[in-house]
Amino acid sequence: MHHVILGAGPAGVIAAETIRKHAPNDTITMVGDEKEPPYSRMAIPYLLMGNVGERGTYLRKSLTHFDDLKVKMVHAQASSVDAAARTVTLDNGDTLTFDRLLIATGSRPASAPIPGMDLPGIHSCWTMDDARAIMKLATKGARVLQMGAGFIGCIIMEALAARGVKLSVVEMGDRMVPRMMGPTAGNMIKDWCEAKGVQVFTKTKVEAIEKGSGDAALKVKLSNGTSMDVDLVISATGVKPAIGFLEKSGIICLQGVLTDEHLQTNVPGVYAAGDCAEAFDKVSNKTIISAIQPNAAEQARVAALNMVGRSVALKGVTQINVLDTLGLISTSFGAWDGVPGGQHVELTDAAAGRHLSLQFKDDVLVGCNSVGWTDHVGVMRGLVEGQIHLGAWKDTLKNDPTRLMDAYLASAQAQSGWSGAADARRR
């Protein structure tokens, strides 16, 4: 049996290890499009901060780890897949034939259609090469403009601030982290960042980037009429699944590669996991892409077990985000912006920099936001993921949202776990 894994990130690595554990004699080929040993993109900010070296980003510390597992590493990129013929064509001209295929190609930075984006000194913060280029330019006192203040952008911002740069952030939305935080929470994060010395422009776009003059490498023109001289531009305007090579493959893709509860696609023997996979979300009752590493790891484990003949179901995914922005902790779980016909309650202590928002559907907590409220973060996640029926405790929480622990202890133990998604449930 030949297993081909496209992608050498966390999902690909965990899948390869799981397959080898349960199928010691099968052939495994893992395809990665970077020359580096498999590494964690989430560790790149720590590299920028100087907390780890490059080897500290590696997913496995032994440089012979994959050789020891008899996993063949191929440094290339998939250019096409023929599901009917069970072949993968690589950009180096080689063709791989597979019995089982895992698509774990992750995401790629979304490129903003802005004049001048191809100039030197403009980088995403996504690859090890990006990190090396940024470290050369993001020296103490350097003028840095970051485009985007979403989840990934805030993590990058943390690293840049630690390097002592003069940082400005531009966000198109009306608040920071607009895709995981409501208006109150997002603007509290903005206020916090500005108090820490970061210049933040919301409701603002970068309209053009030009070569700079004098000691400035670049001149950036903003939609609010401001022009800025900068030494470095970081593009953090979001990511999208790296699935373009699957066009005409016969594999169904929506926003990502559509999977069932076994992480199998519409093609038997072809699976997907990680940031490129679209799986069932037990809160929204839709298929979603949940691009966070814990979900990627579990999807990879489940996919790999099914690839070696085990019948294992994924218990669904949930939107989970915990963010540290210059020391301010914020969280977002599930349907943080509510559901049609639902109810919500908010509690804000602006002076203390604390905010809590709970979203309900009937007597179930379906989502929540918090800023500066680190008490019971695990409880919030547990209530949302577990789809716990609160009964009378819902009204208690609406009157006093801080009683989350009491509600959890009183309600959670009486319920069984979620049973998984049926095949027919799709976006």
Tokens encoding 122 = 């403009």
Q: Is the pLDDT of residue 415 over 70?
A: no
Beta-bridged to residue 362, according to DSSP, are none
What are the residue ranges spanned by the domains of the chain?
2-108+240-307, 122-237, 327-414
The token pair at 286 is 């839709």
Tens of pLDDT, residue by residue over 167-191, are 999 999 999 999 999 999 999 999 9
Query: With contact defined as beta carbons under 8 Å apart, do 163 and 157 qualify?
Result: no
Is residue 416 pLDDT above 60, yes or no?
no
122-237 matches 327-414 in fold: no
For residue 426, pLDDT over 60 is answered with: no
Determine the Cα–Cα distance for residues 254 and 272; give it in Å rounded to an integer: 13
Q: In 3D, which of 207, 201, 199 has the Cα closest to residue 173?
A: 201
In degrees and rounded to multiples of 5, residue 167 shows phi and psi of -110, 135
For the ranges 34-38, 110-114, 280-284, 398-402, which has the lowest average pLDDT?
A: 280-284
Query: What's the CA gap between 213 and 207, in Å, rounded?
Result: 18
Mean pLDDT of 193-221: 95
pLDDT in the model for residue 292: 82
pLDDT level of residue 414 (50, 70, 90 thresholds): low
Nearest-angstrom CA–CA distance, 115 and 110: 15
pLDDT value at position 374? 87
* DSSP type of residue 264: B
Fold of 2-108+240-307: FAD/NAD(P)-binding domain (3.50.50)
Question: What sign does the CA torsion over 395, 398, 400, 406 have?
Answer: positive
* pLDDT for 422: 41
**pLDDT, the chain, mean:** 93
Q: Name which residue leads in pLDDT, 295 or 7.
A: 7
Residue 293 CA to residue 217 CA, distance in Å, equals 35
Please tell me the predicted confidence (pLDDT) of residue 47.
96
How confident is the model over 222-263, as pLDDT tens digits?
999 999 999 999 999 989 999 999 999 999 999 999 999 999
Q: What is the DSSP letter of 197?
A: T
Q: For 104, what's the count of Cα atoms within 13 Å in the CB-facing half-sphere? A: 36
Q: Which residue has the higher pLDDT, 425 or 42?
A: 42
Q: What is the pLDDT of residues 357-396, one digit of tens each?
A: 999 999 999 999 999 998 888 999 999 988 899 999 999 9
In the prediction, which pLDDT does 412 show? 79
Q: For residue range 286-325, what is the model confidence (pLDDT) as tens digits?
A: 888 888 888 899 999 999 999 999 999 998 787 888 999 9
Per-residue b/e over 201-220, b at no fewer than 16 CB within 10 Å?
Answer: bbebebeebeebeeeebbbb
CB atoms within 10 A of CB 169: 27
Q: pLDDT value at position 423?
A: 42
Q: Let me know: does 236 contact 126? Beta carbons within 8 Å.
A: no
Which H or E element spans position 117? none
Topology of the domain comprising 122-237:
FAD/NAD(P)-binding domain (3.50.50)
Q: Exposed/middle/buried for 351, CB within 10 Å: 0-12, 13-18, 19+?
A: exposed
- What would the two tokens of residue 300 be? 């990879």
Interior angle at CA 172, CA 169 and CA 177, nearest 5: 70
Q: Give the tens place of pLDDT for each residue, 73-101.
A: 999 999 999 999 999 999 999 999 999 99
Q: Residue 90 belongs to what H/E stretch? A: strand 87-90
First to last CA, the chain: 33
The predicted model gives 24-36 an average pLDDT of 96
> What pLDDT digit, counting tens, does each position of 117-152 carry?
999 999 999 999 999 999 999 999 999 999 999 998
For residues 227 and 419, the model is more confident at: 227
Identify the CATH class of 327-414: alpha beta
The pLDDT, as a whole number, for residue 413 is: 66
User: Residue with structure tokens 């903005």?
Assistant: 190
Work out the average pLDDT over 342-350: 95
Q: What percent of the chain has pLDDT over 90?
A: 84
